[in-house]
Structure 1
């Protein structure tokens, strides 16, 4: 009889310990090594909370179906290569919304991201990473997530929209000062 497994991996078992480790590192760097200001600590903490939430939404729960319980459909069948024509509008809009904060965080975390082109490129890289990991999980564990070119488009667009939104908000005097305090590349 072949080895069979079927179980679910919930995000809390992985993401909560990861967050605790990251938070302890941030606290150490901020309060004991004076690498960051309190504002920068808040920026980094909120970014990691946001990023872990994004990972939760994109990957979890992970359904492991191996052996006798495996899905017999080949993993590459679940990849959607056709852009725009196969769009699920709700999913497309949710992917845009999910990446808007990412685009807003980018220039705060790295001053080299100073154009919409660079923000869109970083959004594309993160999205491509997510889609590749989804393919690997599908092939290795039988996870039910699909890979979709429309997700790449929506996520890239969301990062660009977030970048533009932050640029518009920084033109407001009060918010400009807050953004300057948050900027990770400035001296503490």
Structure 2
């Protein structure tokens, strides 16, 4: 029951992230961006970002850092979770880039989003570890059962 609820929340969260980062898709005619090269959508310099955008990207990935380790105890390590967060964030940025190039939506592809999203997932794991300090309890939560009591003695 608990695992099913956690999976449902994760799916709803993922749909929300897609809705915020990909949609709406604005299709523009090819001449709309005439004279502006495609690489103008790329932002490769870390730190050149407005604070509200950065903070919102951090917040957006906090649930990932909480939910994934509950469902996959192997992701209860900062390095592994960071890899998943970078991969998910890269997928979002790549999708935005492809949509921008093919349909003309021209959403920016920003290295700061990768940094903020990864930081958000790691902050989520930190919050989870502070809320549920025992790895055994976190694993049991994701499995949908109660942790067994420690052996006597």
5+ unaligned residues in a row in structure 2: which ranges?
146-153
State how many pairs are aligned: 144
Segments ≥4 residues shifted beyond 3 Å: 179-182
Q: Structure 2 CA distance, aligned partners of 1:76 and 1:109?
A: 38
Compared CA separation, residues 139 and 185, structure 1 to 2 (3 A): farther
Which fold has the larger relative contact order, with Cα–Cα distance below 8 Å and residues 6 or more apart in sequence?
2
5+ unaligned residues in a row in structure 1: which ranges?
1-37
Q: TM-score if structure 2 supplies the norm length?
A: 0.86
Q: TM-score if structure 1 supplies the norm length?
A: 0.70
Which residue of structure 2 lines up, in the alignment, with residue 183 of structure 1?
142
Which residue of structure 1 lines up, in the alignment, with residue 26 of structure 2?
63
CA RMSD of aligned residues (A): 2.1
Task: Please state how far the C-alpha of 1:184 moved relative to its aligned partner.
Answer: 4.0
Which residue of structure 2 lines up, in the alignment, with residue 75 of structure 1?
38
Alignment partner of 2:50 out of 74, 80, 88: 88
Which residue of structure 2 lines up, in the alignment, with residue 151 of structure 1?
113
Task: Please state how far the C-alpha of 1:60 moved relative to its aligned partner.
Answer: 0.8
Alignment partner of 1:160 out of 122, 127, 135: 122
